[in-house]
Structure 1
Amino acid sequence: MVEGADSAARTMPQEQQNRGRRAVRRKKDKGGLARSSLLMAVGTVVSRATGLIRQVLQAAALGTGLLASTYNTANTVPTSLYTLLIGGALNAVLVPQLVRARATQPDGGRAYEQRLVTLVVCVLGVGTALAVWAAPRIVGLYMRDTPDSHEAFELTVTFARFLLPQIFFYGLFGIYGQVLNAREKFGAMTWTPVLNNVVLVGMFAAYLGLMTVPDRVEDITADQVLLLGIGTTAGIAVQALALIPFARAAGFRFRPRFDWRGTGLGKSVHAAKWTLLFVLANQVALTVVTNYANAADQELPRAGAGYSAYTYAQTIWLLPQSIVTVSLVTALLPRMSRSVAEGRIPDLRADLSRALRISGVVIVPAAFLFLALGPQISSLLFAHGAADADSARPLGYMLQAFGLGLIPFSAQYLLLRGFYAYEDTRTPFLMAAWIAAVNIALATACHVLLPARWAVVGMAGAYTVSYAAGLALTAHLLRKRLGGRIDDDGGLRRTYVKLFCAAGPAAGLGWAAARACAGLGSGTWPTAVALATGALVTAAGFLLLARLMKVNELRRLPGMR
């Protein structure tokens, strides 16, 4: 009987056998994707929850005005410089390179990994030292040094000198995380940011509990600056160093190797060239918006209508993206890279379509929720300590302005991974340049034409419009690259039409329910009741309408199947 089966298998057409093997592989990949995505989603939820606690404490300690913006601007600088130095290449280019090295090199890519880590550590070390030395000039790009706000500028520079060493630790975290991702070990990189949040929660709790909380730049003390500076950098250091034992457990041993020539790193550096330009385009837009938003803070130092409010609103807005979309993409990228390497383009298209549909079940209703309930969210989270209801209100308007932009932002983020699977980094750069140009033009118009209190709200809306324009162009170019639409049967389009038809009316009902609770008065508890009522009505309405419209992705979301 066995011999007969073997004979039948030998006579089976080769293409049929190949289809069978691909089907088995897809089934195995889907199971692995489900587990990996769920693990990362849970880790991201915990990380974002602790991060939200940290941010609420931070706003209570520093407020949402100019004082907070000195710290937040200084804390933006190391992240931006790390991303410029090497972060963009680590996140988008090097995973396919590491996967290929592990699959094709006789030593399983170990020597390549060691050379790459050595190169990254050297670049980061030199870059960090230069950044600390040039801190005043770097801060000058993000904040204007005017006679009326010179003290705020000097405080930002002081914070920056404490915080710029984060560049090295961000890089260490990034490269060790990508080494783990290439081995399809996703959990550690998702969970270790919780350690950073724990350190920062403790730091801000100590700041609030042990010191007098200032609400002006002139009132902050040297001890408070020292606590904030050292504590913030220590949190990133703990996060980075915690990955080293996980990398060792996965089989990676770091040994410095400087024999970089002729070892394949040139291809990685060449591929990273376009990614560097991609990051540069994003950072130019960020720098312009930060400068404009800080100008609003300098004009209205205690209004809460500038850069800190913008960053807080954007962080809240990005929560659904971080929990769902990023988790999916991190697990999908190695798999999509294999699909391209093996010529399985239909599998790549199917993965992109499925990721867009599954993530949309969370992203679309979340975007409408922010649009409907932004002021209630901001008041509940940020009207405490050094901030009050009046200074938290502009933040809520910014959250509403960001709102619907979450949909094109998330979709564009996913679609770009289709190009990265081809190791095409030039097209994502062109997309970033287009988005940055639209964002800068609209933000400049807001800065020039709107009063300071509303200028940054307008910039949040400009961000939304720029990503809508970016998504349209990205989808067009990816369709040309794949030789057809991602969803040949129109399933993706139908899913999003249903999601909009369910989320829009549900958010309208949620807004009306929250407004109906306005008679309860002001303060934390009335606001919490209004927000909870609005959110529950929105969620219930969305689930009911989505089920009536037969949105099948609702059943797939829990396991990311």
Structure 2
Amino acid sequence: MNTSQLMRSSAVMAAGTFTSRILGFVRAALLLAALATGTSADAFNVANTIPNALYILLAGGVLNAVLVPQITRAAKNLDGGQEYIDRLLTMAVTVLFVVTVVTTAAAPFLIRIYASNDWEPRTFALATAFALWCLPQIFFYGLYTLLGQVLNARGSFGPFMWAPVVNNIVGIAGIMWLIHVAGTPDVHGHPVQSWQTSWTVILAGSASLGVIAQALILIPALRRAGISYRPRWGLRGFGLRTAGRVAGWTFAAVVAQQLGYIVVTQVATTAEGLARTAHSGFASGYTVYTNSFLLFMLPHSLIAVSLVTALFTRMSISASNDRLDEVRADLSLGLRVTGLATVVSAAAFLAVGVDLVRTIFPKGGMFQARGIAYVTGAMMIGLIAFSAQYLFQRVFYAFEDAKTPFFIQVVVVLTWAGGNLLSLHLLSPAWIVVGIGAAMTVSNLVGAALSIALLRGRLGRLDGRRITRAYVKFLAAAAAGGLVAAGLSYVLHAGLGDAWLTSVLAAVLGGGALLTVYYVVLRRLGTPELDELLRPLLRRRAGRHAEVS
């Protein structure tokens, strides 16, 4: 796959991710309207997050690290790796099924681990009921990743990124049904004592149904890609020892990550009760954290994940053939193109973050908007390092090295967890979750710096001058655009007040001004990365124009 094809594949994935994320914001906005940010909302969000967290712990990170490099290497076999894929899928699906059954039975215990000890018994009971409906998602999250990574390894990237669209559509339908049945609450949500069993079935059941649909829709895509499957048992003699070693270190890294995440959920759910008691001026708690993380992940998912997913396959092939120059070139390309998007995204949120949140989440007014915006802003400062670290990790995996990322992950988790605990004990209740976001930024910076140092030992020079020059241009252009956007927002609010339409106007005009200034300044400075990012879109538009002509 040449660079032009790679960028086109990234564009297809980005389009799917963008559609899914837009629907995800619609879903999050409806969920916020249906539940607000109170204790019942935290109960659902904790329960619905546990299957994803456990899936990542038990399979997700392992599958992402192992499957693509292993399948690309197995493709050199006479059967194109078909028997290897059959045996790997059979083993993985079996393990996922057993894990799902065991974890669903352990729902009450898991809620106790993830939730605040300050919750009342009926809140724990509600969260447990949610979890019983949500935990079967583990199996289907795993199936989605298995099938998607097989498609990615064979060069079919689109279905994996478009499948979550179906998940969001099903979830949106379920939340709308809940709003129709239960109505919308005040800013503190439906009281736990008034929650009805039918509401639990509608909300949690539709969430799980969406994940099931997301997984099963990939089966026709496998057939279209010419990939068949039949169960085969037995692993000996198929080169899975290396895969097992990589999986073991990856599993250990994800264990460390999830231990840190437990600290996050404990601190964030505790913060909600403290902030409510203290009558703070903006929202706090775990629901605020989840919505903030959703916003934080949008630019990362659109550009970094889409590009790195395609790069990972190419880097794995290069690494298997010991072509270090090609790996180094892909690393440089990935850092520069993702930086182009993450720098301007961070600048946009720091400039007009409250307006953006208010536009997306109109329910709850400034009370909720400020809470979500402050936390997201604290995270956004570390967005560049977060996306870079995602790419660094894939470089190690391309060399079938999961040991080094494990030790980096331990340092990152200790930094983040320590920052979370300091926030809980040192900050006022309203600012605790903002402290979680800031601690996340510090941990991302530490992880990226450590990765750079270790990758230099493996790859030698990392094209540092070229990357540094590109980032200086990005930062200068983003700073200029951010100042214009912030100034527009200030003038609009000073003249029109804090109505929702004012925030919409500030977000649209400020964001548009920022992007315009960013583009013009980068053009003046001469930025080849801009052409790399825009070329697939321009070619597609040119092709359509030719068809019309």
Please list every run of 5 or more consecutive structure 1 residues that lacks an aligned counterpart in the other structure: 1-27
Once the two structures are TM-superposed, the CA of residue 248 in structure 1 deviates from its matched residue by 2.0
Call closer, same or farther: CA 1:349–1:69 in 2, change over 3 Å: same
**Is 1:316–2:295 an aligned residue pair?**
yes
Which amino acid counterpart does residue 362 of structure 2 have in structure 1? A
Once the two structures are TM-superposed, the CA of residue 522 in structure 1 deviates from its matched residue by 2.6
Q: Aligned to 2:197, which of 218, 222, 238?
A: 222
Aligned to 2:334: 355
| Alignment map for 1:431-450 (pairs within 5 Å) | 431-450=408-427
Once the two structures are TM-superposed, the CA of residue 267 in structure 1 deviates from its matched residue by 2.2
Distance 2:109 2:53 in 1: 14
Once the two structures are TM-superposed, the CA of residue 541 in structure 1 deviates from its matched residue by 2.0
Q: Given that residues 289 and 459 in structure 1 are in contact (C-alpha distance below 8 angstroms), is that contact kept between their aligned partners in structure 2?
A: yes
Which amino acid counterpart does residue 150 of structure 2 have in structure 1? V
**Is 1:84–2:61 an aligned residue pair?**
no
Which amino acid counterpart does residue 497 of structure 1 have in structure 2? V
More moved, 467-476 vs 35-44: 35-44
**Is 1:453–2:412 an aligned residue pair?**
no
Once the two structures are TM-superposed, the CA of residue 351 in structure 1 deviates from its matched residue by 0.9
Distance 2:231 2:168 in 1: 31
**Is 1:237–2:209 an aligned residue pair?**
no
**Percent identity for Structure 1 against Structure 2:** 39
Q: Given that residues 381 and 441 in structure 2 are in contact (C-alpha distance below 8 angstroms), is that contact kept between their aligned partners in structure 1?
A: yes
Q: Aligned to 2:345, which of 366, 386, 391?
A: 366
Q: Aligned to 1:558, which of 513, 516, 534?
A: 534
| Alignment map for 1:279-358 (pairs within 5 Å) | 279-301=254-276, 304-358=283-337
Once the two structures are TM-superposed, the CA of residue 531 in structure 1 deviates from its matched residue by 1.6
| Alignment map for 1:382-393 (pairs within 5 Å) | 382-384=361-363, 387-393=364-370
Once the two structures are TM-superposed, the CA of residue 218 in structure 1 deviates from its matched residue by 2.4
Which amino acid counterpart does residue 325 of structure 2 have in structure 1? P
Aligned to 1:538: 514
Deviations 1:235-284 (A, max 9, x none): 00001001111112223222222222332223211110111011111111
Aligned to 2:541: none
Once the two structures are TM-superposed, the CA of residue 559 in structure 1 deviates from its matched residue by 3.2
Secondary structure in 2 matching 1:93: helix
**Is 1:428–2:405 an aligned residue pair?**
yes
Distance 2:472 2:506 in 1: 29
Distance 1:371 1:391 in 2: 17
Q: Aligned to 2:163, which of 192, 207, 210?
A: 192
Q: Aligned to 2:40, which of 53, 67, 77?
A: 67
Aligned to 2:547: none
Q: Given that residues 33 and 560 in structure 1 are in contact (C-alpha distance below 8 angstroms), is that contact kept between their aligned partners in structure 2?
A: no
Q: Given that residues 44 and 323 in structure 1 are in contact (C-alpha distance below 8 angstroms), is that contact kept between their aligned partners in structure 2?
A: yes
Once the two structures are TM-superposed, the CA of residue 202 in structure 1 deviates from its matched residue by 1.0
Q: Aligned to 1:498, which of 460, 463, 473?
A: 473
Aligned to 1:101: 74
Which amino acid counterpart does residue 514 of structure 1 have in structure 2? S
Secondary structure in 2 matching 1:177: helix
**Is 1:394–2:379 an aligned residue pair?**
no
Once the two structures are TM-superposed, the CA of residue 213 in structure 1 deviates from its matched residue by 2.7
Which amino acid counterpart does residue 94 of structure 2 have in structure 1? C
Q: Given that residues 162 and 229 in structure 1 are in contact (C-alpha distance below 8 angstroms), is that contact kept between their aligned partners in structure 2?
A: yes
Aligned to 1:378: 357
Which amino acid counterpart does residue 32 of structure 2 have in structure 1? A
Largest Rg, 1 or 2:
1
Q: Given that residues 65 and 246 in structure 2 are in contact (C-alpha distance below 8 angstroms), is that contact kept between their aligned partners in structure 1?
A: no
Q: Given that residues 173 and 243 in structure 1 are in contact (C-alpha distance below 8 angstroms), is that contact kept between their aligned partners in structure 2?
A: yes
Secondary structure in 2 matching 1:192: helix
Q: Given that residues 7 and 533 in structure 2 are in contact (C-alpha distance below 8 angstroms), is that contact kept between their aligned partners in structure 1?
A: no
Aligned to 1:211: 182
Q: With the length of structure 1 as denominator, give the TM-score of the two structures.
A: 0.91
Distance 1:279 1:182 in 2: 22
Q: Given that residues 342 and 383 in structure 2 are in contact (C-alpha distance below 8 angstroms), is that contact kept between their aligned partners in structure 1?
A: yes
Once the two structures are TM-superposed, the CA of residue 151 in structure 1 deviates from its matched residue by 2.0
Once the two structures are TM-superposed, the CA of residue 291 in structure 1 deviates from its matched residue by 0.7
Aligned to 1:406: 383
Which amino acid counterpart does residue 384 of structure 2 have in structure 1? I
Which amino acid counterpart does residue 539 of structure 1 have in structure 2? L
Once the two structures are TM-superposed, the CA of residue 560 in structure 1 deviates from its matched residue by 6.1
| Alignment map for 1:70-219 (pairs within 5 Å) | 70-103=43-76, 105-146=77-118, 149-214=120-185, 215=189, 216-219=191-194
Which amino acid counterpart does residue 319 of structure 1 have in structure 2? L
Q: Aligned to 2:16, which of 32, 35, 43?
A: 43
Distance 2:233 2:147 in 1: 18
Which amino acid counterpart does residue 5 of structure 2 have in structure 1? G
Once the two structures are TM-superposed, the CA of residue 304 in structure 1 deviates from its matched residue by 2.8
Once the two structures are TM-superposed, the CA of residue 162 in structure 1 deviates from its matched residue by 0.5
Secondary structure in 2 matching 1:262: coil
Which amino acid counterpart does residue 59 of structure 1 have in structure 2? L
Distance 1:423 1:394 in 2: 41
Q: Given that residues 317 and 370 in structure 1 are in contact (C-alpha distance below 8 angstroms), is that contact kept between their aligned partners in structure 2?
A: no
More moved, 153-162 vs 253-262: 253-262
Q: With the length of structure 2 as denominator, give the TM-score of the two structures.
A: 0.93
C-alpha RMSD of the superposition: 1.6
Once the two structures are TM-superposed, the CA of residue 211 in structure 1 deviates from its matched residue by 2.7
Deviations 1:400-457 (A, max 9, x none): 1112211100111112221111111111111111111110111110011112111111
Once the two structures are TM-superposed, the CA of residue 108 in structure 1 deviates from its matched residue by 1.5
Once the two structures are TM-superposed, the CA of residue 201 in structure 1 deviates from its matched residue by 1.1
Aligned residues: 528
Distance 1:379 1:152 in 2: 29
